[in-house]
Amino acid sequence: MTDTAPIAVALRGITKTFPGVLANDDVDLEVRRGEIHALLGENGAGKSTLMSVLTGLYQPDRGQILIGDETGSLRPVTIVSPRDAIGLGIGMVHQHFKLVPTQTVAENIILGMDGVPFVLDMGSVEADVAALSERFRMPVPVSAFIWQISVGEQQRVEILKALYRGAEILILDEPTAVLTPQEAAEVAATLRALAGEGKAIIFISHKLDEVMTVADRVTVLRKGRNVATVDVGATDKHRLAELMVGREVATTIDKDDGAIGPVVLRIDGVVARNDRGIVALKDLTLEVRAGEILGIAGVAGNGQRELTEVATGLRRVEQGTVTVDGEDLTNRPPVRFIDAGVSHVPSDRLGRGLAGNLPLADNMAMKAYRRPPIAAGPMLRRDRMRAFAGDLIERFNVDTPGPDTPARNLSGGNQQKAILAREITAGTWARERGRRPVLIAAYPTRGLDVGAIEDVRRHLIEQRSGGTAVLLISEELDELMMMSDRIAVLHGGEVMGVVAPAETTIEELGLMMAGEMRR
Amino acid sequence: MNLPYRVTLEKRLDAPRIVVWLVPVVSILVALAFGAIVLAVAGADPLEAYGQILTGAFGSLTAWLDGEFYAVSETVVRTVPLILTGLAVAVAFRMRFWNIGAEGQLVFGGVFAAWVALFLPGVIPGIPQTLWVYLPLMAVVAVAGGAIWALIPAFLKAYLDVDEIITTIMLNFVAILTYQYLFTGPWKDPEGQGFPGSALFPEFTWLPRLTGRVTLGLVLALAAAVVVWLIFDHTKLGYEIALMGENPEAARYAGVNRAGIIIVVMVLSGGLAGLAGFTETAGISHRLQQGLAIGNGFTGIIVAWVAKLRPGWIVVVAFLLSALFVGGDQLQISMGLPASIGAFFQGMILLFILGGDVFTRYRVKVARRPAAVAVEG
């Protein structure tokens, strides 16, 4: 890749506002053929909005999109729908795959395409797909159903889908979020090969390591503005982090050697099924002690969700027991777990942790509305509920216009702070009742900006040091290594091993996550 | 595909306040404009017709000066059951429990109330036969009747996850046919000379009138609106209902007992509809006869929806829709137009208000497609 390669796509002065939010402010971006261009920025920096403009989901208020041909001469285009974008050779691979599980790989690839004949010749489609996958060295089982293939393979299908439609400009939204470290390395190699064929690759990420190893150039967005476009070779992780956040950032966390107490949460020989009725936890046994953080490592979808649900009463257990501080709570309703002092920061903030349309005050009272002073007999004291929320907003630095703002209008980081504030406060009440609190935090820093991540981690450490039994589920191995006292690795609903961070390596965790090693 | 521009809808994050209020107003105006076209096609002068609706529903200035408030009092009479059914469905809808069965629950409330009025004095003669004993008793039994009928879909939903839309709709038919069987069969007035209907209730079971045909039922309906408002905004139950409606998964996570709350909500919802059955039998017909199941349970859905499930607005909307009904009847008398014109307007207004909602949730954008011009990169 050289600076002289022809420009594939140029965004000029893109400005996009939403009510009260300047999502993109006069952003320029040029991507050349044969380059992997990383788009780096915190959540809410405007990465997704910018790519939505490029793929026709949003119309910019101002600015221009230009598409280049082989010689580099540019022409302005208007993209009002994803179909237009595909027509112009712009393909997008979303973080959450848009595949139909009950259709085959080849069927998914031609799904929704123009000019598909009424009578399909799947044989020739499969041959085409196979040829394409051969050419780009992305092996996929063309006639297998999507539900049969691995997440890594599904991602390849998404990429092939874009290539099959003639994509010259390929946008990938956080492509490694759902992969093991080994799979992530494979994706990097694939992207490299595609760039070698002259494709322009835009790679959205907030992981600095990944950007440094995969990308040629990187554009950093902050608060909707392009703050820098630099060659990766001419910068380092620390400088990128500063550009992204706008200040110096700490990459480690202080953690004392807390006093580890007795077992509080005990999951013993638990078997549970997922929503589709498939056994998701197979004879799982785990113990979390007071004053420790037990980290759970694993590729998403290996039983983490079911584990959090079993530990909070949200999912039925078929075999085994769930005990909290000596009390057997197996298959008791969620409210009993709440009473027993189990707090829960769920992975899906707006899906489970909050009711987005309700005011922040209502959301922050989800664990407090049953007890005085907010409850007064059957009545609810709205004034006290607002005051309670106001107090938490202040103590936990939640950035919001006020307790009456609908929760969905807060940024992801502030939603997470609100949930943490609520759950930690519930934990203190449990302590007042003489119970040892449990805090189950599922992906608590996912999608947050660096500042918010620091806050969340500090709170978790604080809880641990205060004697709470913390179960931390994360997909960031660095985070688990930094935060945990012990790490349990989940694969296929089983614990592959429990290790101390000091006695293991990322590579070893990766092998355990892939199910290739037990300890 | 080759138009020079294309219209697209973009989701709004937050609708401005002005839009929230303007859209329903414009929707109603557009509905009236469409109505005018239909009236013109039917051969009526739309302006005259709208004038007739107004005087039919509210009376005229000259009538008022003569101290004649018959029209507006008839509108109030029709408002009472609409407030109650509007509240009934609003309670359930706030939890996104689609109770389409208020009609049947109302009818069951009426049947239960009728049983008390017709047969209780004979069964337990010892009960003092006065208003003060019998009216509260009938009201409570009517509420129970509506609630029992609502509990069937509630249990089916809570424990077997049976779709409530289907069950509540179907139970309407069962309730209505049962009630028709009763007043044409076993409960038929032996001295009715073949006229289908039960015997007249004893007078100590009649709701006292305030003015015209307006009864104490109006006070009951307004009180119910206040109670529902209190429940929505100032009780733990109201909080749980809102949480369940906005995000059932979050409600479960917060420890709300899903089955329990479905049952409580349907007791409330069915009970309110049953109360409407009480005000209509004890207040208006004074017997069980044809005319109890005239669609108030369904119009209540329109009321609740247009009022955005807010109790205060339900009272206002119920009054306005009732005015359309009563005014529509006037059109039939004075201009020879079908009486269903009132229902027609209600349908139009609901359609346009629901359709207009698109403009509160989305912003309309027109994107121009420029001719492709090559420029130097």
- Quick: pLDDT tens for B4-40: 676 777 777 667 778 778 888 888 889 889 989 988 8
A59 neighbors A225 (Cβ within 8 angstroms):
no
| pLDDT mean over B234-249 | 96
How close B14 comes to chain A (CA, Å)? 7
pLDDT band at B165 (very low <50, low <70, confident <90, very high): very high
Residue with more model confidence, B86 or B59: B86
Q: Which residue has the higher pLDDT, B77 or A49?
A: B77
> Which of 317-336 (B) contact A at CB < 8 A?
none
- Provide mean pLDDT across the span B161-174: 96
User: Which of A18, A21, A367 comes nearest B254 by C-beta?
Assistant: A367
Rounded to a whole number of angstroms, the distance from the CA of A347 to the nearest CA of chain B is 12
Percent of chain A with pLDDT over 90: 53
Nearest CB to A73 within list B234, B251, B374: B374
- Inspect the interface and report whether the beta carbons of A379 and B234 lie closer than 8 Å: yes
Average pLDDT over residues A269-277: 91
Query: Which chain A residue has its CA at the smallest distance from B10's CA?
Result: A58
| Predicted pLDDT at B377 | 34
Q: Minimum mean pLDDT among A112-126, A299-313, A368-382: which range? A: A112-126
Token pair of A10 as six digits: 């140029």
Give residue-wise pLDDT tens across range A383-416. Answer: 999 999 999 999 998 988 899 999 988 888 889 9
Q: Is residue B236 part of a domain?
A: yes
Number of H helices, E strands in chain B: 14, 4
Residue A119 predicted with pLDDT over 90: no
Q: Which helix (H) or strand (E) holds A67?
A: strand A62-68
B362–chain A nearest CA distance, Å = 12
**Is the residue at B29 inside a domain?**
no
pLDDT band at A348 (very low <50, low <70, confident <90, very high): confident
CA distance A265 to A313: 13
Contact B257 A335 (CB under 8 A): yes
Name the residue range of residue B103's domain.
77-321
User: Is residue B356 included in any domain, yes or no?
Assistant: no
SS3 state at B130: coil
Give yes or no for residue B376 having a pLDDT over 60: no
Position B293 in a domain: yes
| Chain A residues within 8 A of B14 when measuring between CB atoms | 19-20, 409
pLDDT band (50, 70, 90) for residue B371: very low
Instruction: Supply the pLDDT for residue B13.
Output: 63
Least confident of A219-223, B227-231, B332-336: B332-336
Output the 3-class SS for B94-115.
Answer: HCCCCCCCHHHHHHHHHHHHHH
Chain A neighbors of B365, CB-CB under 8 A: 59
Report chain B residues whose CB lies below 8 A from the CB of A382.
233-234
Q: State the total domains in chain B.
A: 1
Q: Is A489 helix (H, G, I), strand (E, B) or coil?
A: strand
Q: Which residues of B touch A3 (CB under 8 A)?
A: none
Whether the per-residue pLDDT at A442 is higher than 50: the answer is yes
Structure tokens at A6: 């022809």
Domains and CATH numbers, chain A: 7-245 (3.40.50.300), 263-513 (3.40.50.300)
Q: Write the DSSP symbol of residue B295.
A: S
Question: Which pLDDT belongs to residue A454?
Answer: 86
Q: Mean of the pLDDT values across residues B323-342?
A: 83
pLDDT at residue A19 greater than cutoff 80:
no
Does B296 have pLDDT greater than 90? yes
Q: What is the DSSP letter of B161?
A: -
The proportion of chain A whose per-residue pLDDT surpasses 70, expressed as a percent, equals 97
Let me know if A49 is exposed, middle or buried by CB neighbors in 10 A (0-12, 13-18, 19+).
buried
Chain B: nearest CA to A80, how far in angstroms? Answer: 7
Cβ-defined contact of A366 to B250 (cutoff 8 Å):
yes
Here the CATH number for the domain that contains residue B284 is 1.10.3470
Report the distance separating Cα A14 and Cα A19, nearest Å: 17
Is it the case that residue B349 has pLDDT exceeding 50?
yes
Give A185-188's long-range contacts (Cβ < 8 A, gap of 24+): A186/A152, A187/A152, A187/A155, A188/A213, A188/A214
Q: What is the ipTM of this complex?
A: 0.86
Q: Scanning every residue of chain A, which has its alpha carbon at the shortest distance from the alpha carbon of B246?
A: A355
Distance between CA atoms of residues A178 and A153, nearest Å:
12
CA distance A390 to A461: 24
Q: How far apart (Å, rounded) are the C-alpha atoms in residues B226 and A158?
A: 55
Burial of B50 (0-12, 13-18, 19+ CB in 10 A): middle
Query: In chain B, which residues have their Cβ closer than 8 Å to the Cβ of A379?
Result: 234-236
Contacts of A380 in chain B (CB under 8 A): 234-236, 238-239
Q: What is the pLDDT of residue A110?
A: 86
Question: In the block, which residue shows the tokens 């509240």?
Answer: B87
| Tokens, residue A152 | 């890594």
Going by pLDDT thresholds of 50, 70 and 90, the confidence category of residue B149 is very high
Query: A27 to each of A115, A245, A465, B86, how far by Cα in Å?
Result: 36, 17, 44, 51
pLDDT above 60 for A466: yes
Average pLDDT score over residue span B46-62: 89
How far is it, in rounded angstroms, from Cα B327 to Cα A86? Answer: 56
Is A72 in contact with B13 (Cβ distance < 8 A)?
Answer: no
Closest chain A residue by Cα to residue B231: A379
Q: Which of A393, A387, A378, A417 is nearest to B240 (CA)?
A: A378
In degrees to the nearest 10, what's the CA dihedral of B41, B45, B47, B49?
Answer: -90
Ranges of H-type helices in A197-333: 208-214, 237-245, 304-310
Classify the C-alpha dihedral B354-B359-B360-B361 as positive or negative. positive
B229 has a pLDDT exceeding 50: yes
Q: pLDDT at position A451, please? A: 77
Over residues A206-211, the mean pLDDT reads 81
Q: Is B250 on the interface with A (CB under 8 A)?
A: yes
Split at pLDDT 50, 70, 90, the class of B374 is very low
pTM above 0.90, yes or no: no
